[in-house]
Structure 1
Amino acid sequence: MADRRRQHDDAEPAVDGHGGERLCAATREALSPDHLIRFVADPSGDIVPDLARRLPGRGVWVKADKAVLERAVKANVFAKSLKRHVKADPALPERVEHLLEKRVLEALALANKAGLVTAGFQQVDELLEGGTTAVLVQASDAADGGRERLQRKYAAVARARGKEASLVTSLSTEQLSLAMGRSNVVHAALIQGGAAERFYDEAERLRRYRSGIGASDRPESARELKV
C-alpha cells in the first residue's frame, strides 16, 4: 500500500510499461528503483534522502550516482520537480555517501550476528575450499599478496561450480573490525542467507554510487566491488 501511495505522491511517477521503473529527475533515464535514490522535502523545505523509501510526501528520484546527484543539486532539480521552493545542501552528495556506507556496515554487522560471516585468512581460505562462499570481503587496505591469492581461489571455485563470484573491497580494516566487533579483520566471507544478500545489495549500491558504473557495464566476470 505504501508503494501505491508513493506512486501518486512522487514527482517522478512510475514509467508506464517499464515494470515499475521511474524517471531520474536529473538525467530523465527510466531506471529500476534499485538504481535510484528517493528524496523528499522535510517540513522546513530541506531536501533529505529517503534510502529506505518510506518517508511521506512527494518524492524526487535521482540516479544512484554521486556525480549525477552533484549536478542535480547545482541545477536545482528538486525545486523544479516539486514545483516549489526547497533547499538542497551542497554537501548532500557526501551525506548520501556516508549514509550508504553506514547501511553497508550495519548489514555486515547483522550478517555477523546471524552467524553467516567467517573472518581470518586461514578460516576464509578453508571456507572457499568448500564452495559455500556467497560473498568474499577484503579490506581496502589488505596486503596485495594475500588478497590476490584468496581472490584467485574464490574465482576458480566459483567458476568450477558455475557460480558468479561476489567480491567486496570497499571497507577498511578498521571499518570491518568495528562492524564485526573484533580486531584486525582483513579477510571475511559470508555464506548464503538473507542477511548476506542484503549486505551484498547494500555494498553494490554504494559501489554504483561512488563509481557511476552499473553491474552490466563492467567487463569483469566477477562482481568485484572496488569503490
Structure 2
Amino acid sequence: MAKSPSSTERMCALTRAHKPISELIRFVLSPDGVLVPDTEAKAEGRGVWISLDAASVTEAARKNVFARSLKTAVTVPDGLAELTAERLQQRFAASLSMARKAGQLVTGSTKVRVAIESGDILALVTATDAAPDGRNKMMSAVRALQYAAKEDGDADFSVPHLELLSSDQLGLALGLENVIHAALTTGAAAQAALEKGQRLAHYGARTEESDHRRTTRSGVALPHETR
C-alpha cells in the first residue's frame, strides 16, 4: 500500500512524487483564468504543486500539466518559469527589508565581520558583483567561525551563504547604496528571509535570455544562480 503523504507534503503534479512543501511551489488560477505562482501558498482555491526548480515548471507548462490537474481551461503565460523566479526574488528582497527593519540584518564590511566574529550570524549575504577579494575575506571569516564551532563540539553548525542579488538590487531592497556585504542575525524576520533566499537558490539558474525578459517587464534584472 502506498504511503499517505503527511500534512507537510504534497504531490508534484509533474512527477507524481510526494515531497515536503519546502521543495515545491504552488500555482493557482487568477480570476481571469491565468495561471500564477502562489509563492506563499496562501491563495484561495485549488492549486497545483510543482517541484521547486525552473526546469520542472517549464516541463509542466510544456506538457499541459496545469490544465489536466485543474480540470479546466488554463492560460499559461509565456515565460512562466521566469515569472516564477521573479516572484521568488521579490519575496526574498522584501524579506530582507523586513529583517533590516526588525534590526536583524546588518550591512557593511565592518559590521558584517563583527557579526561573524561574535557568532551572531544566521546567514551571510553577498552581492553577486562583489569583488573576489572581499568575498573571499568574508568567506574565510565564516569558515573560521564554523571551524571553531566544530572544535567546540557543534558539528552541525554552519552559516548559509546567499549570493542571489546584485549590489544594486540589495540597495533597492534595503533603501541603501552600494550594498556588497550583509549578515542576517538571529530572529524570526531573519529566519524568514533565510528561508526565502534558500527557496530562490533552490529554484535554480536563470538564463541571460530570461533575465532580459524580466528586466524588460519589471525594470530590475533578477539574480543569477548562487556561486
Fold similarity call, TM over 0.5: yes
* Aligned match of 2:29: 41
**Partner AA of 2:63 in structure 1:** A
**Partner AA of 1:62 in structure 2:** I
The separation in 2 between residues aligned to 1:46 and 1:17, in whole angstroms, is 29
* Aligned match of 1:222: none
The separation in 1 between residues aligned to 2:31 and 2:174, in whole angstroms, is 37
Indicate yes or no: 2:161 matched with 1:167: yes
Structure 1 stretches lacking a partner, 5+ long: 1-14, 213-224
Contact 1:140/1:171 (<8 A) preserved: yes
Indicate yes or no: 2:48 matched with 1:60: yes
* Aligned match of 1:122: 110
Could you say if the C-alpha distance between residues 80 and 32 of structure 1 is closer, same or farther in structure 2, counting changes exceeding 3 Å? Answer: same
* Aligned match of 1:138: 126
How many residues matched?
201
* Aligned match of 1:25: 13
TM-score scaled by length of structure 2: 0.83
Residue from 192, 197, 205 that aligns with 2:199:
205
TM-aligned CA deviation for residue 44 of structure 1:
2.3
**Partner AA of 2:4 in structure 1:** D
Indicate yes or no: 2:182 matched with 1:188: yes
- Structure 2 residue matching 1:160: 3-state secondary structure: helix
Structure 2 stretches lacking a partner, 5+ long: 207-224
Could you say if the C-alpha distance between residues 182 and 17 of structure 1 is closer, same or farther in structure 2, counting changes exceeding 3 Å? Answer: closer
Contact 2:26/2:39 (<8 A) preserved: yes
Identity %, equivalent residues: 37
- Counterpart mapping for 1:57-96 below 5 A: 57-96=45-84
* Aligned match of 1:226: 226
**Partner AA of 2:158 in structure 1:** E
The separation in 1 between residues aligned to 2:41 and 2:115, in whole angstroms, is 36
Cα RMSD over matched residues? 1.7
Contact 2:5/2:18 (<8 A) preserved: no
Could you say if the C-alpha distance between residues 17 and 62 of structure 1 is closer, same or farther in structure 2, counting changes exceeding 3 Å? Answer: closer
**Partner AA of 1:27 in structure 2:** T
TM-aligned CA deviation for residue 159 of structure 1:
2.9
TM-score scaled by length of structure 1: 0.83
Contact 1:40/1:60 (<8 A) preserved: yes
